[in-house]
């Protein structure tokens, strides 16, 4: 069964992280193969929740494209560089792998080259052959022969002569001679040869001053085998194009399109060969599968989402712009948190989350509803939070207070990092909007950093040409949100928030949710401008 990744949005908040973890556990209960993922680092609030309930953060993923390690490629077949081409033919027949990896030895497996069926075909295309690179020992092995005499001066020109009545016996120096008749043995008494190969029909009765092999094969079988009785390193391809298992498939496809090899080794970080990939694999692989939780817009989702397959979406926000090629399971409910939806799915299945996952879902509901102070809170969220607190074995009031106060202190925070860690981007026709959000407990903390935030927001807006960038500072107990904003569309904020301090800041007692309150109002204002 193929694995499916469950991910929340970029710059993840507690609901995004907890939803991925909770839905992954629910899927696991149902025997489905899933992995909970995240698209960024945890904020301080979420870290507090994971520490409290002793859970690890989901797997960090950043790209939806498939890598070579995600596909099933051909298992590698190895052959030593000094093995014969006969051995190569046999291994290809046994493994049905049309390309062999040539190594120095089968223990260290240091890559020397590749040997393909096409390389072996060269043997029969060559007029002179390649036997000038063979050894006496290799001939003996391939021809099932015993070395009767080894003068240790074996050197061949690669030519093979079969002795018969019409054979010219002159010029046999450095030639491999095959003898099939006993009576012809006397003819070679004074001849110099690279070696003499006696078939099974001949007994070595004459003491010849040459290398002698005595084979158990007949002349026909020797003739069939001898042309491949030389080392594979003689004809292997030393020029190789290798890929790493972490290379993206579409990048590999581009490189393969510019080469003409049949197969390409796939290596791991240590340089070990994991297998072979060919053009076939690049057209037959299945893209990665994703379940999106707490979002349904491409801008907030994983990079290259269009290269993957979205199979489900669970969300409590507006329906976004993620498109699919076939019907999927899509669940969207007007609740204060995605985790409220997922907990309802547990209850529908008659299942209970583990204590740790119950604690994470409770954290998400508290965070997204600002402990029920947000206008997006429903009675369902409140009821579920109480149930989850019991399952997590915590006091609801005490834990909510501790969680909401675990956010980064504005006094000590890096302003640029704080803006970027939860910045979400939206596209409205030709306009680009970016909205960041953080919590605060004391208004004085913001006031001491106003100049820092103003400079950072103005600089980011100018550098990235954002039409409107907004930073929301929301009170942890739901007393309202202070806004700072820059860009050509800043004037629209006067129609959205209750009070303006100046052209770039203001306050609203009601707006606390970015997606469910601010963005809908901003959308209506932009529509009215057209």
Ordered structural domains, the chain, with CATH: 4-66+288-404 (3.90.1640.10), 78-126+234-283 (3.10.580.10), 131-229 (3.40.1390.20), 415-529 (3.10.310.20)
Tokens of 210: 């040459």
Q: Return the pLDDT at 382.
A: 98
Residue holding tokens 């007692």?
509
- Report the candidate in 273, 245, 317 with the shortest Cα–Cα distance to residue 516: 317
- Tell me whether strands 289-293 and 309-315 are parallel, antiparallel or unpaired: parallel
Q: Return the pLDDT at 274.
A: 87
Dist CA 137 CA 230 (whole Å):
10
Do residues 228 and 84 make contact, with C-beta atoms less than 8 angstroms apart?
yes
- Whether the predicted pLDDT of 51 surpasses 90: yes
Dist CA 500 CA 513 (whole Å):
19
Of the spans 71-80, 380-389, 410-419, 504-513, which averages the highest pLDDT? Answer: 380-389
Bridge partners, 211 (sequence order): 195
Dist CA 361 CA 353 (whole Å):
9
% of residues, the chain, pLDDT over 70? 98
Query: Which tens digit of pLDDT belongs to each residue from 396-436?
Result: 999 999 998 887 667 777 899 889 888 888 888 889 999 99
- Report the candidate in 309, 314, 312 with the shortest Cα–Cα distance to residue 325: 309
Query: Which tens digit of pLDDT belongs to each residue from 107-153?
Result: 767 888 899 888 898 888 777 778 999 999 999 999 999 999 998 88
Do residues 264 and 166 make contact, with C-beta atoms less than 8 angstroms apart?
no
Mean pLDDT of 100-108: 83
Do residues 220 and 201 make contact, with C-beta atoms less than 8 angstroms apart?
no
Q: How many CB atoms lie within 10 A of CB 290?
A: 23
Lowest mean pLDDT among 101-115, 189-203, 224-238, 334-348: 101-115
- Report the candidate in 84, 95, 77 with the shortest Cα–Cα distance to residue 233: 84
Query: Which tens digit of pLDDT belongs to each residue from 272-301?
Result: 888 888 888 888 788 999 999 999 999 999
Dist CA 158 CA 352 (whole Å):
77
Mean pLDDT of 257-285: 85
- Whether the predicted pLDDT of 209 surpasses 80: yes
Dist CA 241 CA 30 (whole Å):
43
Q: How many CB atoms lie within 10 A of CB 10?
A: 20
Dist CA 69 CA 341 (whole Å):
34
pTM comes to 0.71
CA angle 207, 208, 209 (to 5 degrees): 125
- Whether the predicted pLDDT of 1 surpasses 70: no
Residue 67's pLDDT band, with cuts at 50, 70 and 90, is very high
Higher pLDDT, 29 or 164: 29
Q: Return the pLDDT at 408.
A: 61
Residue holding tokens 């903390």?
445
Q: Return the pLDDT at 57.
A: 95
Q: Judge residue 480's burial from the number of C-beta atoms within 10 Å of its C-beta, 0-12 exposed, 13-18 middle, 19 or more buried.
A: buried
Query: Which tens digit of pLDDT belongs to each residue from 5-43?
Result: 999 999 899 999 999 999 999 999 999 999 999 999 998
Do residues 419 and 460 make contact, with C-beta atoms less than 8 angstroms apart?
yes
All residues at 6 or more sequence positions from 331 whose CB lies less than 8 Å from its CB, including other chains: 312, 313, 314, 315, 341, 345
Distance of CA 333 to the CA centre of its chain: 33
Mean pLDDT of 354-382: 95
Tokens of 409: 């202190």
Residue holding tokens 């970029």?
10
Do residues 249 and 233 make contact, with C-beta atoms less than 8 angstroms apart?
no
- Whether the predicted pLDDT of 82 surpasses 90: yes
Do residues 253 and 228 make contact, with C-beta atoms less than 8 angstroms apart?
no
% of residues, the chain, pLDDT over 90? 61
Q: Return the pLDDT at 409.
A: 64
Query: Which tens digit of pLDDT belongs to each residue from 450-479?
Result: 899 999 999 999 999 999 999 999 888 778
Average pLDDT, the chain: 91
- Tell me whether strands 34-39 and 59-60 are parallel, antiparallel or unpaired: parallel
- Whether the predicted pLDDT of 168 surpasses 80: no
């Amino acid at each position: 069964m193929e694995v499916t990744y469950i991910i929340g949005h970029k710059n993840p908040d507690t609901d995004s992280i907890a939803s991925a973890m909770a839905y992954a556990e629910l899927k696991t209960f149902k025997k489905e193969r899933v992995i909970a993922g995240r698209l960024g680092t945890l904020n301080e609030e979420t870290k507090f929740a994971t520490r409290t309930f002793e859970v690890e953060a989901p797997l960090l993923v950043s790209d939806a494209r498939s890598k070579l390690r995600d596909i099933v490629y051909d298992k590698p077949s190895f052959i030593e560089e000094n093995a014969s081409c006969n051995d190569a033919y046999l291994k290809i027949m046994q493994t049905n792998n049309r390309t062999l990896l040539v190594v120095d030895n089968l223990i260290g497996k240091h890559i020397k080259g590749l040997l393909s069926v096409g390389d072996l075909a060269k043997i029969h295309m060559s007029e002179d052959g390649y036997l000038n690179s063979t050894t006496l020992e290799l001939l003996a092995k391939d021809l099932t022969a015993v070395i009767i005499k080894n003068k240790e001066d074996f050197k061949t020109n690669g030519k093979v002569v079969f002795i018969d009545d019409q054979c010219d016996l002159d010029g046999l120096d450095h030639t491999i001679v095959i003898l099939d008749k006993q009576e012809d043995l006397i003819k070679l008494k004074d001849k110099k040869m690279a070696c003499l190969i006696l078939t099974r029909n001949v007994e070595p009765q004459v003491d010849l001053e040459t290398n002698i092999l005595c084979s158990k094969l007949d002349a026909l079988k020797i003739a069939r085998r001898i042309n491949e009785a030389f080392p594979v390193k003689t004809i292997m391809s030393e020029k190789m194009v290798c890929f790493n298992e972490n290379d993206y498939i579409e990048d590999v496809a581009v490189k393969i399109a510019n080469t003409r090899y049949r197969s390409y080794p796939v290596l791991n970080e240590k340089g070990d060969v994991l297998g072979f990939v060919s053009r076939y694999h690049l057209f037959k692989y299945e893209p990665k599968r994703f379940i999106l939780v707490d979002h349904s817009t491409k801008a907030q989702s994983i990079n290259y989402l269009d290269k993957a397959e979205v199979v489900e979406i669970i969300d409590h926000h507006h329906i976004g712009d993620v498109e699919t090629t076939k019907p999927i399971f899509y669940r969207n409910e007007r609740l204060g948190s995605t985790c409220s939806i997922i907990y309802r799915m547990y209850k529908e299945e008659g299942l209970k989350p583990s204590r740790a996952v119950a604690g994470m879902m409770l954290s998400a509901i508290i965070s997204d509803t600002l402990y029920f102070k947000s206008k997006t809170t429903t009675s369902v969220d409140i009821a579920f939070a109480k149930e989850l607190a019991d399952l997590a074995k915590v006091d609801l009031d005490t834990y909510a207070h501790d969680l909401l106060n675990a956010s980064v202190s504005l006094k000590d925070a890096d302003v640029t990092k704080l803006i970027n860690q939860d910045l979400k981007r939206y596209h409205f026709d030709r306009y680009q909007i970016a909205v960041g959000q953080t919590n605060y407990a004391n208004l004085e903390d913001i006031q001491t950093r106003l100049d820092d935030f103003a400079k950072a927001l103005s600089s980011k807006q100018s550098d990235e040409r954002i039409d409107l960038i907004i930073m929301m500072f929301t009170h942890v107990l739901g007393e309202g949100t202070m806004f700072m904003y820059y860009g050509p569309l800043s004037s629209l904020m006067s129609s959205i928030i209750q009070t303006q301090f100046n052209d770039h800041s203001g306050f609203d007692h009601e707006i606390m949710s970015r997606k469910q309150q601010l963005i809908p109002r901003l959308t209506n204002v932009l529509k009215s401008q057209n």
